[in-house]
Amino acid sequence: MPNQNTRVLVVGAGPVGMVCALALNRHGIPVTVLEAEPAPVKDQRAATIHPSTLEMLDELGVTEKIRDHSLLSSIYRFHDRPTGEVVAEFDLGRLKDEIRFPYVLQFEQYKLTAAISAEYANESDFDVRFSHTLTGLTETADGVEVEYTSPAGPERMTAAYVVGCDGGRSTVRRLAGIEFEGFTYPERFIKIATSFDLQSVKPDLVYRNYFSDPNEWANVFKVRGESPEGLWRVILPIGQDEDDATALSPTRVEERLQKFLPKSGPYHVEYRDVYGVNQRVAATFRQGRVLLAGDSAHVNNPIGGMGMNGGIHDAVNLTEKLAKVLAGAADDLLDLYSRQRRHAAVNYVQAQTIANKRLLEERDPQVRQQKLDEMRRTAEKFDTARAYMRRAALFDSLQDAAAVV
Ligand SMILES: Cc1cc2nc3c(=O)[nH]c(=O)nc-3n(C[C@H](O)[C@H](O)[C@H](O)COP(=O)(O)OP(=O)(O)OC[C@H]3O[C@@H](n4cnc5c(N)ncnc54)[C@H](O)[C@@H]3O)c2cc1C
């Protein structure tokens, strides 16, 4: 018999939580989102939305709304930093006859969450509560009793299901006792955003660039920021011998940027952050009535821009199945969600991001040359370039996960 209480509680109003809530709302399921922070967070992490994700967001009516506020980027390049050469160029425009959006949108994740919450947050069946922190979960026969703190003090509510979209340090995952298997890299990454036009000193930059370098790899992206000129983001590794305070100091940030692209006069830096980097996947994405999606279920290094995209793919897969279960279908559909999305996380997102980092940092000169030559050959031929781009844009992960039964 269908469950009477069909409200789903989403924990976390990050990009995955908000897409999950919107998708549930579109299925006619009442949803409450609890978010610990007092207001939408201006999170400057993800910025690249891949074509496969744009198709999903389009089904939710989001893609058209955000496109004019994004940077469109169809081309990405691999550079050899020591020689300054462009090794390979991939152009999603070559796939225009087979994919609906032959480009990525460079659109910061805080804008995506704001775009969704601005339109839907005030509906009673889609209520988003800031300054509400989940603290406890107890599963009952037909639901989950949830404890949380709010400005009014400790409170409780009951939901049919709880979806933990509460990030890499997920409380939901911990309360459900689900292992987070994997490893942490010894180095951290620094992201530096500058309003200086990097193309003026390196004209062969496109909006997305990966630099291979045995001493210091780099990723360089353009984002829209808050002004028409946009911002350039540079991501670099930080060694274990350097602490965060030193890495973030204006002198060291300037030194890093000047070493990467020397120019006269100092760089104007808009923001900078240091990140610890993990490759981890939850042992299961489902424990009874508790589900995990996004970073709570899997984390990876950001080279290739796959974490948020994979998380949005989780949210869309999960909500389709949850809608059926809430309408009376057998709940083992939720185990299928876990199997399918865990498969995509392990075999695609983890595998690809680990390979991406290895390619950029390869130290052995012979192996490095082989890898760069292979990348060059892959980009040159249409069939191999197509296969590479479809995999990097996560289309293969979706197709392969759909075949998991
Ligand atoms: C430098 C960098 C660049 C990146 N670039 C990309 C990219 O281009 N493309 C891409 O796909 N991915 C990228 N990523 C990864 C991406 O940022 C994450 O995968 C994404 O933020 C995950 O979204 P989420 O909604 O699952 O979790 P989060 O964004 O971490 O959101 C979790 C939310 O839960 C809230 N929360 C936590 N605990 C509680 C609680 N107990 N109660 C209530 N609320 C709680 C938090 O306050 C937070 O708002 C990048 C990461 C980094 C570090």
Q: What is the pLDDT of residues 158-211, one digit of tens each?
A: 999 999 999 999 999 999 999 999 999 999 999 999 999 999 999 999 999 999
Q: What is the mean pLDDT of residues 138-162?
A: 96
What radius of gyration, in Å, describes the C-alpha atoms of the chain?
A: 21
Q: What is the mean pLDDT of residues 125-146?
A: 95
Cβ–ligand 1 contact at 164 (below 6 Å): no
Question: What was the pLDDT predicted at 124?
Answer: 82
Question: What was the pLDDT predicted at 4?
Answer: 60
Sheet of 144-150: strand order equals 133-139, 144-150, 153-159
Question: What was the pLDDT predicted at 123?
Answer: 76
Judge whether residue 264 has pLDDT over 50. yes
User: How far apart, in whole angstroms, are the C-alpha atoms of residue 304 and residue 300?
Assistant: 10
Q: What is the mean pLDDT of residues 34-47?
A: 94
Residues 6+ apart with CB under 8 A from 77: 86, 87, 88, 89, 90, 204, 205, 206, 208, 209, 210
CA-based end-to-end distance of the chain = 25
- Find the 376 Cα to ligand 1 centroid distance in Å: 33
Tell me if 289 sits within 8 A of 160, measured CB to CB.
yes
Question: What was the pLDDT predicted at 90?
Answer: 98
Judge whether residue 371 has pLDDT over 90. yes
Question: What was the pLDDT predicted at 117?
Answer: 85
Using a pLDDT cut of 70, give the percent of the chain over it.
99
Q: Atom 27 in ligand 1: which residue has the minimum CA distance? A: 167
Question: What was the pLDDT predicted at 119?
Answer: 74
Judge whether residue 82 has pLDDT over 50. yes
Helices (H), 171-268: 171-175, 244-248, 250-260
The answer to whether the pTM exceeds 0.85 is yes
User: How far apart, in whole angstroms, are the C-alpha atoms of residue 300 and residue 279?
Assistant: 4
Judge whether residue 331 has pLDDT over 90. yes
| DSSP β-ladder status, 208-212 and 75-80 | parallel
Identify the CA nearest to 107 among candidates 274, 192, 211, 223: 223
On average, the pLDDT of the chain sits at 96
Q: What is the mean pLDDT of residues 45-58?
A: 98
Question: What was the pLDDT predicted at 1?
Answer: 38
Judge whether residue 232 has pLDDT over 50. yes
Range with the poorest average pLDDT among 54-68, 106-120, 140-154, 244-258:
106-120
Ligand 1 atom nearest to 135, measured from its CA: 41
b/e for 155-193, b at 16 or more Cβ within 10 A?
eeeebbbbbbbbbbebbbbebbebebeeeeeeebbbbbb
Q: Atom 11 in ligand 1: which residue has the minimum CA distance? A: 308
- Residue to probe by mutation, ligand 1, list 11, 45, 73, 133, most atoms within 8 Å of CB: 45
pLDDT band at 120 (very low <50, low <70, confident <90, very high): confident
Judge whether residue 245 has pLDDT over 80. yes
User: How far apart, in whole angstroms, are the C-alpha atoms of residue 281 and residue 358?
Assistant: 19
Question: What was the pLDDT predicted at 129?
Answer: 94
| DSSP β-ladder status, 161-164 and 8-11 | parallel
Question: What was the pLDDT predicted at 379?
Answer: 98
Q: What is the mean pLDDT of residues 232-242?
A: 96
Judge whether residue 3 has pLDDT over 90. no
- Find the 86 Cα to ligand 1 centroid distance in Å: 32
Distances (CA, A) of 52 to 78, 102, 179, 211: 22, 10, 29, 25
Kindly state the DSSP code that residue 296 receives in the 8-state scheme: G
Q: Where do the domains of the chain lie?
A: 8-73+103-181+279-363
Ligand 1 atom nearest to 53, measured from its CA: 11
User: How far apart, in whole angstroms, are the C-alpha atoms of residue 318 and residue 305?
Assistant: 21
Cβ–ligand 1 contact at 106 (below 6 Å): no
Question: What was the pLDDT predicted at 121?
Answer: 66
In the CATH scheme, what is the homologous superfamily, with its name and number, of domain 8-73+103-181+279-363? FAD/NAD(P)-binding domain (3.50.50.60)
User: How far apart, in whole angstroms, are the C-alpha atoms of residue 224 and residue 352?
Assistant: 26
Q: Which amino acid is at 146?
A: V
Question: What was the pLDDT predicted at 2?
Answer: 42
- Find the 308 Cα to ligand 1 centroid distance in Å: 7
Q: What is the mean pLDDT of residues 267-284?
A: 98
Angle at 310 between CA 308 and CA 311, to 5 degrees: 60
Q: Atom 29 in ligand 1: which residue has the minimum CA distance? A: 14
Cβ–ligand 1 contact at 8 (below 6 Å): no
Q: What is the mean pLDDT of residues 343-357?
A: 97
Residue whose pair of structure tokens reads 């930080």 in the numeric block = 238
Using a pLDDT cut of 90, give the percent of the chain over it.
95
- Find the 12 Cα to ligand 1 centroid distance in Å: 9
Q: Which amino acid is at 362?
A: E
pLDDT band at 244 (very low <50, low <70, confident <90, very high): very high
Q: Atom 33 in ligand 1: which residue has the minimum CA distance? A: 12
Q: What is the mean pLDDT of residues 255-262?
A: 98
Give residue-wise pLDDT tens across range 378-393. 999 999 999 999 999 9
Tell me if 62 sits within 8 A of 116, measured CB to CB.
yes
User: How far apart, in whole angstroms, are the C-alpha atoms of residue 174 and residue 178?
Assistant: 6
